[in-house]
Structure 1
Amino acid sequence: MAPPTVLIIGCGVSGPVLSLLLKKKGYKPVIYEKVRVLGEAGASLMLNPNGMKVLNLLTSPNKLFGDVKALPLANLWHGTGSGETLVHNSLPSNYAARYGQSSMGIKRTTLNISLKEMALDAGIEVHEGFELVDIEEGEASVTAHFGNGQSVTGSFLVGCDGIKAASRRILLQNSGTKEGPPIFTGLTQTAGISMTPSALLEKPATMSNWYGNAVHLIAYPVSTTHISWAVTLSQTEERPEAWKLATRVELEAKKQDLEARLKGFEPALLEMVRTAERIISFGLFDRAELSGDEWFSSRCVLIGDAAHPTSPHLGQGANQALEDCYHLSRLLPQLNGDSDGNLAALSPIFEEFARLRQPRTSALVKGARKKGEERVVTGGPELCRARDAQLVVALGDAEEIQRGNDQLYREPF
């Protein structure tokens, strides 16, 4: 008996990972990606121990990072824009011993291409230029319709297509729910990758946070030579939720704007901005939270940002998507060639998955939103000093930080 076909929508992080996990369980996953050719995407992300555990089921960090040497995180530093230390600790240096994996920054493009190549090497079909426009569900199958006029049918469909997921929109529409527009949070983020300034090489393997008036800057290494950074700004004028790369003219304008906003910050940070090889800017938006029963239908289920879109302030977007991949693949039955694993009734499996995952991801989405509001304080020096004092108290409690880390990083197994 031919294995059941699973339609995977999206070839970012969760699409290829879920496909590889399902392939091991006897399914035939096929990936459909709206982008015609996967290329430069985003800036970077931090793979934390909970996400690394899932990836380690498929490959080693050395293969994942390719020619770039992985650099495990060892230190966390928080300080003022001028460089005065507020809090410093070396908790990440113990992550591997405590959780089984380290935290490591990686270029998003490197990760995406590595995962796509892993899927192709495993014999998984990847079709690019397929933008999902509709979903039709039958009693024992589902059909996806694409903007290029093609349609495909499978046993079930998984929406892995990110924060602007077509799968989410269609699933809600088909259930009679109209989702409202995303709401601008009043924050924008500009991210880039640069050669690590010599002054910051003195703080190797460190995730650093600088706090100023209406601005927060975070930076961490993505290799021994390069650093990824992101500046979050308070912005009264709504900015588009777009992640396109800046043109050469736009790049220079953004650099000048950032240098003005970072006036008074450490010179190394201005150097980092000036020497950026690429920059992307985007507004940060909130979306209505979905209840667990809105994550799925009889033949479709959402995972990652398609189900629980989040702001980047906790660094858990990709890591929670990886947890989703692990749990969904774990709950789906193992197939043995001559058996369909009782796929006639998938709703109970999808319901169990959503019941398990929705409360955890909901709490983290709220936590990320709160973290952004705490970091970016407007109103002048006095309020900023109060914010800094609160950071010293909150981040200086190593035992409390450890308990929070345990709740995050001891998952998903």
Structure 2
Amino acid sequence: MGDAPTPQRLDIIIVGAGLSGLATAIQCALSGHNITVLEGARELAEIGAGLQLTPNSTRLLQKWGVYERLSGPCEPSTCTVYNYTGKILAHEDSFDKNIHRKYNAPFTDCHRVDLQQALVERARELGVKVVLDAKVMGLNFGKEKAGEDSEPPKATAATENGQSFSADLIVGADGLWSTCRSVFLGRRDAPLPTGDLAFRIVLELSQIRDEKLRKMVQEPGVRFWVGPESHAVGYSMRGGDMYNVVLLVPDDLPDEVARMEGSLEEMRSRFTGWDPVLTQLLSCVSRINKWKLMHRAELPSWINPQSNLVLVGDACHPMLPYLAQGANSSIEDGAVLGLLLSSTSSSPFVGKSQLPARLKLFEKLRKKRGEAIVRETFKQRRDFHLPDGPEQEARDQIFEKWFGKDIGEAFPSRWTCPVVQKWLYGYDADKEVEAALAGGEK
């Protein structure tokens, strides 16, 4: 008998150094491949504010050696839902401990930039080449359609500044306004408005004078205020030195405008009569931005016919912020793709000829889940934005009667819903891939 074949190192180009791209880069590098990340920005300072990391992604960040690099991650000890006047609809003490007990991984609030920097630092340690000021303008996939057991043709990516990169596989991780998606579809494919926008706010502790509010910020908890057509989310970051607030309201931006500076007067007037805790926080804000919330229709496939392009993250399943799963699901995507391209005891050799089958398996494992989460976010939006009236009263009665009990059906806050929380937070990318490969799937 001859020697077993040596695992093949694939040349993989990842378009975009956001969270999905860097997560994919890390797991693909750990799987033994040559990784180049092409990023259009001249420096990595991702725009954004806070984000919530749930156990389905924090267990991956811990495994990769990324979690401990985060700057002052805050694990919220409470989770509270208020109606817009400040009445408590639901409250959970020991939220952090309960999450650890159920999922063996933390629920953490952090700054998006801190996570991006931690990911890129780890990626570079693993030998990933991150090329900045490399905006991808064109892709060429070759003409051959890859068969089930044939090698896909080489793909190339051309950048705005005239560089060209060749790869066995291109991963389109370039976000909501994805160039890869448009090239894949053969037409410009703009995101669709949802009818909502977000005011995104980050407050330094020094901006907050009221002692009760300062104490609230320094004792991390997740807070939701739900009201007619709008809701607000607040949580601490960076060890309690910073507070993140997101206000979700009806969209009044022009069709062609995705983001612009907002009016403080307008923002505060929208929340007149809401809980004084929230309005006091809003009185501390000195500058505000408005972000149009966008979504996309589901794609028939995330893989091109040549099997040398695959889309991940917001390029194929952008998510509204109502369940905080956009970042978490993107990290899952990167982990599953990289794990499927690794050599294991049940699958000792992954090379170019295995790409078509492995990409199909990636799509099978991820597409249904990603699109299910997208649909669930719209349900959460509805439940949190009910106008005052019979439906809102019925929702509040469910909160009052059933919170904290396993009722076997959906709860109005999916953050603590015994049904939805399990399949969101309990997802384990490693076990998902292991089970698929052990079950005989290619």
TM-score (structure 1 length as normaliser): 0.87
Structure 1 segment 271-290 matched on structure 2, within 5 A? 271-276=280-285, 279-290=288-299
Matched, 1:217 2:232: yes
Q: Which runs of 5+ in 2 are unaligned?
A: 1-5, 143-151, 408-416, 432-442
Alpha carbons of structure 1 residues 340 and 98: separation in structure 2 relative to 1, 3 Å? closer
| Aligned counterparts of 1:316 and 1:115: Cα–Cα separation in 2 | 18
Displacement after TM superposition at 1:359 (Å): 0.9
Residue of 121, 129, 154 corresponding to 2:167: 154
Displacement after TM superposition at 1:133 (Å): 1.6
* Identity among equivalent pairs (%): 23
Residue of 97, 101, 117 corresponding to 1:97: 101
Alpha carbons of structure 1 residues 391 and 211: separation in structure 2 relative to 1, 3 Å? farther
| Aligned counterparts of 2:137 and 2:397: Cα–Cα separation in 1 | 47
The answer to whether the 8 A contact 1:190-1:281 is kept is yes
Matched, 1:386 2:390: no
Secondary structure, aligned partner of 2:418 = helix
Displacement after TM superposition at 1:382 (Å): 3.3
1:319-374 residue CA offsets vs partner (Å, 9 max, x unmatched): 11111111111111339xxx983213411111111011111111110110121122
Displacement after TM superposition at 1:190 (Å): 0.8
1:199-245 residue CA offsets vs partner (Å, 9 max, x unmatched): 3434832111112233211111113121111001123565556356x
Displacement after TM superposition at 1:277 (Å): 6.5
| Aligned counterparts of 2:342 and 2:363: Cα–Cα separation in 1 | 16
Q: Which runs of 5+ in 1 are unaligned?
A: none
**Equivalent residue, structure 2, for 1:349:** 358
**Equivalent residue, structure 2, for 1:124:** 128
Residue of 49, 65, 71 corresponding to 1:59: 65
| Aligned counterparts of 2:68 and 2:202: Cα–Cα separation in 1 | 21
Structure 1 segment 29-68 matched on structure 2, within 5 A? 29-63=35-69, 65-66=70-71
Structure 1 segment 252-401 matched on structure 2, within 5 A? 253=263, 255-276=264-285, 279-291=288-300, 293-297=301-305, 298-334=307-343, 341-378=350-387, 381-382=388-389, 385-386=392-393, 389=396, 392=399, 396=403, 398-400=405-407, 401=417
| Aligned counterparts of 2:272 and 2:368: Cα–Cα separation in 1 | 41
Displacement after TM superposition at 1:113 (Å): 1.8
The answer to whether the 8 A contact 1:81-1:265 is kept is yes
Displacement after TM superposition at 1:390 (Å): 5.6
Residue of 29, 39, 46 corresponding to 1:23: 29
Matched, 1:185 2:185: no
| Aligned counterparts of 1:384 and 1:190: Cα–Cα separation in 2 | 26
Structure 1 segment 67-78 matched on structure 2, within 5 A? 69-78=72-81
**Equivalent residue, structure 1, for 2:251:** 235
1:43-83 residue CA offsets vs partner (Å, 9 max, x unmatched): 111000001011111115331x13xx222122211112231
The answer to whether the 8 A contact 1:190-1:282 is kept is yes
The answer to whether the 8 A contact 1:193-1:277 is kept is no
1:166-207 residue CA offsets vs partner (Å, 9 max, x unmatched): 11111121xxxx475433221111111113554343483211
Please report the RMSD computed on the Cα atoms of aligned residues, expressed in angstroms: 2.7
**Equivalent residue, structure 2, for 1:85:** 88
Alpha carbons of structure 1 residues 141 and 375: separation in structure 2 relative to 1, 3 Å? same
Alpha carbons of structure 1 residues 115 and 391: separation in structure 2 relative to 1, 3 Å? farther
The answer to whether the 8 A contact 1:218-1:230 is kept is yes
TM-score (structure 2 length as normaliser): 0.82
Residue of 9, 12, 16 corresponding to 2:18: 12
| Aligned counterparts of 1:399 and 1:187: Cα–Cα separation in 2 | 32
| Aligned counterparts of 1:24 and 1:237: Cα–Cα separation in 2 | 43
1:145-177 residue CA offsets vs partner (Å, 9 max, x unmatched): 12222211011111111111111111121xxxx
Secondary structure, aligned partner of 2:127 = coil
Displacement after TM superposition at 1:19 (Å): 1.2
Matched, 1:166 2:174: no
Letter in 1 for 2:232: L
The answer to whether the 8 A contact 1:4-1:155 is kept is yes
